[in-house]
Amino acid sequence: MNQFTYLALGDSYTIGEQVRISESFPYQTVQVLRDRGLNFTAPEIIATTGWTTDELEAQIETSFFLPAYDAVSLLIGVNNQYRGRSVADFEIEFERLLQRAIKFAANKADRVYVISIPDWGVTPFAKERDTAKVADEIDEYNTVCASIASKYATHYLDITISQRADGSSTDFLAADQLHPSGKEYAKWAHELSSLMMESFFYND
């Protein structure tokens, strides 16, 4: 039986800050795929809370990887926005990261999944912030993500619309009232796993 591998690149949203690792979206995605009959190993995660695009890129340079992965996800950029970095710089750095992600997937763009940046401005953590400004900036960043994903013919998964709807609900938030709970990540995992199933069964 074939054994599949999955590399998840990102920041706090990828490691599942404030929740058990089994509740992170990469681990929940793998579990859904296993339940659907695909023999995935545990996801390999390169992510740390607070990372920006350049920090993720720097870590990639010093990490060891398999020769190739069957699936690669990329979710990065919220900390660029949070630190007030320019969208223009983000675009350059994000494109480089996506190029790396495609190489990790043995140059199979249809096995790469860009995930949109959640809007932390809808959470209780942001109650003293200019949430309209945060939303506008997140939208700008996600426009870049979607455009570059399209340019390289990778998948683009928009989780931001539904996350905004649940972002102030206790059930969908971790204890810090900022990061998602396992229940929110489960939504992402089901959407991501469905995309992966399509890639694995219909694009080989």
* Tens of each residue's pLDDT in the chain, 204 residues: 689 999 999 999 999 999 999 999 999 999 999 999 999 999 999 999 999 999 999 999 999 999 999 999 999 999 999 999 999 999 999 999 999 999 999 999 999 999 999 999 999 999 999 999 999 999 999 999 999 999 999 999 999 999 999 989 999 999 999 999 999 999 999 999 999 998 876 554
Burial of 175 (0-12, 13-18, 19+ CB in 10 A): exposed
Residue ranges per structural domain of the chain: 6-202
- What would the two tokens of residue 43 be? 């996801």
Q: Which of the listed CATH numbers 3.40.50.1110, 3.90.226.10, 3.10.129.10, 3.40.50.150 matches domain 6-202?
A: 3.40.50.1110
Reported pTM? 0.96
Collapsed DSSP state (helix, strand, coil) of residue 50: coil
Q: How far is CA 114 from the centre of its chain?
A: 6
